[in-house]
């Protein structure tokens, strides 16, 4: 499954930030939880409407954004 099937961007939702499946939780939210040391399991317990695929999609999205920023700078 591609992150493109999970990550959505809607101009009127959360200021146009990339969200998970049209919900109000953003990619940034998930990345921030992971950076703070939360495990995937802890995130899934705190947000039972999320899936492991959602978390992986956030990581894939972030990796693609990082890769794209490096290409632009080169």
Strand partners, 7: 20
The ranges assigned to domains in the chain are: 3-69
pLDDT band at residue 73, thresholds of 50, 70 and 90?
low
What is the fold, at CATH topology level, of the domain defined by 3-69? Arc Repressor Mutant, subunit A (1.10.10)
pLDDT in tens, 51-72: 999 999 999 999 998 887 776 5
Q: What percent of the chain has pLDDT over 90?
A: 81
On the question of pLDDT at 74 being above 60, the answer is no
- Count the helices and strands in the chain (H runs, E runs): 3, 2
**Mean pLDDT along residues 31-55:** 98
Tell me if 1 sits within 8 A of 58, measured CB to CB: no
Q: What pLDDT is recorded for position 67? A: 82
């Amino acid at each position: 499954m591609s992150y493109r099937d999970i990550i959505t961007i809607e101009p009127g939702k959360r200021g146009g930030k990339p969200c998970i499946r049209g919900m109000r939780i953003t990619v940034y939210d998930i990345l921030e939880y992971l950076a703070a040391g939360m495990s995937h399991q802890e995130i899934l317990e705190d947000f039972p409407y999320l899936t492991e695929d959602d978390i992986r999609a956030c990581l894939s999205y972030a990796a693609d954004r990082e890769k794209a920023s490096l290409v632009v700078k080169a």
